[in-house]
Structure 1
Amino acid sequence: MKLNFARCTFAHSMKTMGCVAALFLGLLGVAPSSSATVLTATDASWKVTAGDLGPSGWNGNAIFNDSGWASATELSPWPGYVAKVIWSGGGQFSQSETQIWARGIFNLSALPLSAVLNNGFDDDGDIYVNGNLVVSDHNGFANNSFADITSHLVIGDNLIAFTAIDNYLQWGYNHGAAVQVDATFAQVPEPMSLALLGLGLAGLAFVRRRAKI
């Protein structure tokens, strides 16, 4: 933006205020409009079970009692992600714990502009967001996939729940599952930006009032 500062003089108060307002509004116009964050990612804080699920609601109720479930066992980093590859306490090569159920909860004070769930299963699995099935992977081999879950999120507690199954009869014992949710939020203006905006609007109002005299 090119401004003619020669016209912004104390001798021309109306034009001064107009130039100041234009300058400040122009500065605000180049600020970024969004920011990205990781909402949740599998790690040892997730709860898992390889046995009895207990009462219904494990995949749709954020206040489901999973106190009898164990903390997830981290197997390895998930390259390129914050998330860790997890399984139950039986570990990556267990011949008895070949299916797990897992839960992770996160809280939102504001809804994101967009949210993408990234996931990887070795080998198959189903993922639920607040009880809604968003991924159903039953192709019999390890792979990653993505799902837009923006419309399934709510203000307050949100639940990501999944069951993962290792198709060991075909590929051998090599269990693993990973989930990460990346979201984009609208950026809240900083206090200084809000102050500049207020000054710019005040300047515009002053110019308009003097123009009517």
Structure 2
Amino acid sequence: MSDDVGNLAAKAAEMAAGLLAGAGAPAAPPLAPAIPPPPPGGPPGGKAYVPSRATGGGGAITAEQLRARKEGLQQYHPGNAMPRAYSFRVVFGEKNLSNDASFQEVSGIGATMETEAVQEGGENRYVLQLPKGVQHGPLVLKRGVGASNSALVRWCRATLEGGLGLQVMTAPLTVYLLDPGLEPLRAWLFANAYPTKWEASAFDANKNEVAIETISLVYTFCNRIL
């Protein structure tokens, strides 16, 4: 048995050597292109690109604003570089929230197509799955428990503690994955978001950890813009 295994290994090595030496051997895939420098007229101070409030402010996102944001990000797209999950940024379109967006974790980015099972008459081999609509789960943000004067805390309190006596205020936000130079590699835009859940982590005297608050946001739609 050991001789057979040795013969198979030797044959495999010969075949691999022949493929590599042959003229028709496939070339190694090219490396990801280097990240280009920001174009002239880019953001001052070498900071990461942040859409202007003209294209991201207000509670609603129009088709023109969405197109403008996509076009603005294209000039910073660094090719096929792979993003790292630890380097990200959350940017709120509302002015009063824009400086209150440092988070430990962001999750919930995704969409699911809901389907309806339909049995076709006379067909017993399968059941048709007809699309009904796209469902978005909540966007979940985690950070240390914010101060009472935090704009994000005030927004959550107005929405969740106001008893619906006031109009629920919505805000667009964008989540960016960043490269080592803090330029955006990937981006998702969430339109008309507002908080629906706000909770603090358990307090435990046996652990020396930062107290975390979790904010869940619902939104009208999510678009991958980069």
Task: Give the TM bin, normalised by the shorter chain.
Answer: under 0.3
TM-score for both structures, normalised by structure 1: 0.25
Higher strand share: 1
Identify the structure with bigger relative contact order (alpha carbons < 8 Å, sequence gap 6+): 1
Q: Which has the larger radius of gyration?
A: 1
